[in-house]
Amino acid sequence: MADVAVSAEAKGGSISRREFLYYIWGASIALYAAQFSGLLIWFLLPRFREGEFGGRFIISMEELPEVNAEPVNVPAGRFWLVNLDTTQPNELMKKAPDETEEIVGVAAIYKVCTHLGCIYAWTEANNRFECPCHGSKYRLDGRRIESPAPRTLDRFRMEFLDADRNPIPDTLSEDVNDFYAPVRIPDNAAFISVDTGDRKMGPSQDLLCSFTNECP
């Protein structure tokens, strides 16, 4: 016992090499555990909240545009809502010669031009979307009228909800050839849910101006 007391006193405040390695090992474990916990929390937290771009947007049916009327702008979600029906054609929306199926239903169209990413706008005087950067033009449903845009405007996935905000069966956007088709409005629809985290790129289709020989 006397030897031990003398030895401890002789060492004073210094630590042995073995103790030092233990401390380093313990600190490494603690650091690793902290990093793992942080990653787990980051992974479990939702990335996007409802009402933020990247998340879901719930919109009342009262906000929906009339059939083949000017689109409704949803700036926070970076999309336009359109209500299409080529069985009731007008200046804003009518079938092109290569379209055999009627285009009927609601779509949520991404507000970024498919050419180089500018923000285009609805031009009331011309009844179409027009991009200020290089002049691309699009029909109400997003199909190209004039280039240089390489394809139709992109669309977000959407579905209709009832008054209790429950999804209405068979109203989720249908994936047709890797593009979201417009969704027909069900009788009991009270809200539209648009998922801005789920986007499909528009297809390349012939320019609408080519059918009327009006391409610049």
Task: List residues near ligand FES by CB under 6 A.
Answer: 113, 115-118, 131, 133-136, 148-149
Whether 152 and 113 have beta carbons less than 8 Å apart is answered as no
The bridge status of strand 137-138 relative to strand 104-110 is unpaired
- For ligand FES, the closer of residues 117 and 169 by Cβ is 117
Query: Which of 118, 172 has the CB closer to ligand FES?
Result: 118
Query: Least separation, in Å, of the C-beta of 150 and ligand FES?
Result: 10
Q: Name the residue nearer to ligand FES (CB basis): 130 or 162.
A: 130
Nearer to ligand FES, 144 or 200 (CB): 144
Contacts 24+ apart (CB under 8 A), 207-211: 207/144, 207/145, 207/146, 207/147, 208/96, 208/139, 208/143, 208/144, 208/145, 209/137, 209/145, 209/146, 211/96, 211/97, 211/98
Q: At closest approach, how far in Å is the CB of 121 from ligand FES?
A: 11
CB of 80 to ligand FES, least distance (A): 15
CB 79, min distance to ligand FES, A: 16
